[in-house]
Structure 1
Amino acid sequence: MIHLQGVNKQFGNGSNAIIAVDKVNLDIAEGEIFGIIGYSGAGKSTLIRLLNGLEKPSSGTVKIAGYEMSSVNARELRNARKKISMIFQHFNLLWSRTVKQNISFPLEIAGIKKAERERRVNELIDLVGLKGRENAYPSELSGGQKQRVGIARALANDPEVLLCDEATSALDPETTDSILDLLTSINERLGLTIVLITHEMHVIRKICHRVAVMEAGNVVETGSVLEVFQSPKEPITKRFVSQVTEPVGTEQVLAHIPGGTLIKLAFVGEKTEHPVLASLIRKFDIDVNIVQGNISQTKGGAYGTLILQLLGNEKDVDMAIAYLHELGVQTEVITNE
């Protein structure tokens, strides 16, 4: 569905050149919800502009929905944009138009007859949960409702790909979850391929099948969301994962735990339900204190973390850690005193 090979995007020349996207290779499958995460300046917004044809790569190829975006002519680009739609952080609605008129707008541009426009708009209003708000203006809507209008408008021309550029970052957490649930439902019901740009790992965790992590224009890590949660390789990925798995202030809490050995356990899938802690206490002559614990749900299954303080002689503690490895529990020693 989407294939990027050796994609570079450079702005300016010589000493003033800025490389926004650097040698990016990505494959995104049809029907997948794919997340691209990075901090400001990572290159993710430039990457999404390359996907919708607003920018052309300096080198490399961008293929999406059957179109080579780096070489399409103006007519082909117009056709491509019927298959590639987009929703935005700040909604980009027409403030002088009602909900119904906003959703109808791309159908008017496409020359769709009025009766068909009416049918399609009503269908989309039901799909995004805005029944009863058809005649409201954007100024009368909440942030979540505005984004629902944006989603409905983006779906008006039956696209194959939906690009989401920080689509929830202007919303509160509860509204964010409702919009993510809507995108998941749309993906499942319509088989739509969704590419989601964000700087929030919660968004990735909740709805994405796979994720690419960007830093300084490079894709530094890719994989299924569960794999990335379980074994983040790059420092930036570890920081993103900790947004979800470790509460704010974790480092300060750990710094004030007196004595013993602090270990971090990671559980995946069914292992999150195993009585590992009880087995540890029964088998070894050590004291075990729970410092912190968390379970996160991803599209690929559950991922849990547990930070323990182990108190006992060095040999028993080492045997306990070895036992955890035997059980297949990923174990990291944080401090050993």
Structure 2
Amino acid sequence: MIHLQNVSKTYHSKSGNVDAVKDVNLDIDKGEIFGIIGYSGAGKSSLIRLLNGLELPTEGIVEVAGNRINEVSNAKLRKARQEISMIFQHFNLLWSRTVRQNIMFPLEIAGVPTSKRRERANELIKLVGLEGKENAYPSQLSGGQKQRVGIARALANDPKVLLCDEATSALDPQTTDSILELLADINKRLGLTIVLITHEMHVIRKICHRVAVMENGRIVEEGEVLRVFRQPKEEMTKRFVKQLAEPEEAKETIEHVLERVKEGQVVRLSFIGDSAEQPLITEIIRSFNVDVNILQGKISQTQEGAFGTLFIHINGEETEVEKAIAYIQSKQVEIEVMTHV
């Protein structure tokens, strides 16, 4: 559905050239929810603007939904953009128009008859859960409701690709989850290809099938979300994974434990898939003469299964501790000794 080959984008200014995107190669499948994550300045927004033709690449090929975006004429580009919709962080709604009128607006531009525009808008209002808000103005809506209008408007022309540029960054955590769940539902119902630009690993974890990590204009790592969570290769990726796997309170708890205990080992366990749901700690205590103190734990659900991280302190005779660790490894659970105390 989306193919990028050796794509680069350089901005020219009086103060010098800025290489925003550098030699990016990427393929995104039809019906996939694909996340692109990176910190501010990584090149994410420039990359997404290349996908809908708002920017043209300095070098390389950009193909989206069968259209070579960097080579089509202006007339064909306008038509191609009807198959590539976008939602934004700050909604970009028309404040003088109602919910229904905002959703109808792209159809109005496309020359769709009024009756058809209204019929389509009503379908989308129901799809995004805004029944009863048809005649409300944006100023009368919550942030989550505004973003639902933005999503409905983006779907008006029945696009093949939906681009989301930091679409949940302005929302509180609960509203963010509801919008992500809506996007996942739309993906399943319509088979829509969704590309999410974000700096939040929670967004990737919640709904994406695959993820690419950007740094300094380049894609430094790419893969299935569960694989990236379990075995991040690049330092940038490890930093993002730690946003979920190792919250600050976990570090504080471990430091507190290390100050007090003089024996045993503190280890970090990483679970994936079915292993995240097994009663591992109970089995260790029953099978070995060790004490186990749970310091911090968290299990997160991804589109492909569960991913969990658990910090524990194991204490006992050295041989028993070694047996317990070997048993953990036999259960296909990754284990990392944080420190010897």
Alignment of 1:294 with 2:294, yes or no, is: no
Q: Separation in 2 of the partners of 1:63 and 1:215?
A: 22
Letter in structure 2 aligned against 1:186: I
Q: Which of structure 1's runs of 4+ aligned residues deviate more than 4 A? A: none
Q: What residue number does 1:63 align with?
A: 63
Following TM superposition, by how much is the alpha carbon of 1:15 offset from its aligned partner in structure 2, in angstroms?
Answer: 7.8
Q: Separation in 2 of the partners of 1:236 and 1:221?
A: 9
Work out whether residues 253 and 296 of structure 2, in 8 Å CA contact, stay in contact via their aligned partners in 1. Answer: no
Q: What residue number does 2:232 align with?
A: 232
Structure 1 residues 15, 91: closer, same or farther in 2, change over 3 A? closer
Q: Aligned to 2:40, what secondary structure does the other structure show?
A: coil
Following TM superposition, by how much is the alpha carbon of 1:233 offset from its aligned partner in structure 2, in angstroms?
Answer: 1.4
Following TM superposition, by how much is the alpha carbon of 1:256 offset from its aligned partner in structure 2, in angstroms?
Answer: 2.1
Following TM superposition, by how much is the alpha carbon of 1:242 offset from its aligned partner in structure 2, in angstroms?
Answer: 1.7
Q: Separation in 2 of the partners of 1:169 and 1:299?
A: 21
Q: What residue number does 2:289 align with?
A: 285
Name the % identity: 64
CA displacement, residues 196-227 of structure 1 (integer Å, 9 cap, x when unaligned): 00111111111111111111111111111111
Q: Aligned to 1:167, what secondary structure does the other structure show?
A: coil
Q: What residue number does 1:21 align with?
A: 21
Q: What residue number does 1:8 align with?
A: 8
Alignment of 1:335 with 2:339, yes or no, is: yes
Following TM superposition, by how much is the alpha carbon of 1:13 offset from its aligned partner in structure 2, in angstroms?
Answer: 7.1
Following TM superposition, by how much is the alpha carbon of 1:270 offset from its aligned partner in structure 2, in angstroms?
Answer: 1.2
Greater displacement, 252-261 / 70-79: 252-261
Alignment of 1:159 with 2:159, yes or no, is: yes
The alignment's TM-score, normalised by the length of structure 2, stands at 0.95
Q: 2:276 aligns with which of 272, 278, 283?
A: 272
Q: What residue number does 1:175 align with?
A: 175
Q: Aligned to 1:41, what secondary structure does the other structure show?
A: coil
Alignment of 1:1-337 (within 5 A): 1-12=1-12, 16-257=16-257, 258-259=261-262, 260-337=264-341
Q: Separation in 1 of the partners of 2:167 and 2:277?
A: 34
Q: RMSD between aligned alpha carbons?
A: 1.5
Following TM superposition, by how much is the alpha carbon of 1:20 offset from its aligned partner in structure 2, in angstroms?
Answer: 0.9
Letter in structure 1 aligned against 2:282: A
Letter in structure 2 aligned against 1:330: E
Work out whether residues 12 and 18 of structure 2, in 8 Å CA contact, stay in contact via their aligned partners in 1. Answer: yes
Letter in structure 2 aligned against 1:295: I
CA displacement, residues 280-303 of structure 1 (integer Å, 9 cap, x when unaligned): 223333222111111110000011
Work out whether residues 275 and 331 of structure 2, in 8 Å CA contact, stay in contact via their aligned partners in 1. Answer: no
How many residues are aligned here? Answer: 337
Structure 1: state its 5+ residue gaps.
none
CA displacement, residues 74-111 of structure 1 (integer Å, 9 cap, x when unaligned): 01110110000000000001111111111111111100
Structure 1 residues 14, 335: closer, same or farther in 2, change over 3 A? farther
